[in-house]
Amino acid sequence: MAGTTDGGDAAGAAAGTTFLLARHGATEHTAQGRLSGCTGANPPLSEVGREQARRLAAALRTAGGADALVCSPVLRARQTAEEVAAALGLPLRVEDDLREIDFGDWEGLTPAEVDRRWPGAQPAWRRQSEQAPPGGESVEAVGERVARVRERLAAEHPGARVLLVSHMYPVKLTVVDALGVPRVVMHRMHVDPTGVAEVRALPAGDPRGPWLVVRHNDAAHLRDARP
């Protein structure tokens, strides 16, 4: 179930923090439809992905940038964030808890290959956020560590625009948590490479809740750069 840790996100909401959430650019695994988490091959950005990162950086600069920039340590996210950091003139902070999910034994496989080797396992995993792939990590575990990052950053940057460059799962789970719906709902969402989401804190006591989802998967900057 969606939630926060120790009330930290609620405190951040009261302080007026806005999180901008960008997925990394495309890799060869993206083009091949392979599951690419935080272990395994750790592919770099492809040429398409580098162009997407440049377009993301330009779009963010045009839109006013951010006050702080934080990224996942995984190579494709780090490379994307470096493009953004250069464009926005911001120092780059790495947070290990923003890494992508660990797909375990499924790393590097296509969904069809997973289905052939583990019949029925993938649909069951998508229905249960507490269930992990063999040797991997559950959606619930990813959601909890990403929530801890938001808690820390909201406390450190009250009232600021904080840009997080990470992966599909951290982006989706932040939006899901802001909506206050079960985390398993994230499997019904899509995020393009370098797609941007935005969640904005609401004043304490606002009847809509602590967070407002302003946008999700804003990929207007991609145009013809999709993989």
CB 215 within 8 A of CB 189: no
24 is catalytic: yes
CB 155 within 8 A of CB 11: yes
The active-site residue out of 83, 100, 140, 198 is 100
Strands 92-94 and 18-23: unpaired
| Angle (nearest 5°) at CA 189 between 68 and 39 | 65
CA 139 from chain centre, in angstroms, equals 12
Q: Which two tokens stand for residue 107?
A: 């790393």
Q: Which residues contact 82 (CB under 8 A, 6 or more apart)?
A: 92
Q: Is 40 left (phi over 0), alpha (psi -120 to 50) or beta?
A: left
Which of 109, 67, 118 lies closest to 89 in space, CA to CA?
Answer: 67
Partners of 22 in the β-ladder: 165, 196
Instruction: Supply the residues annotated as catalytic.
Output: 24, 100
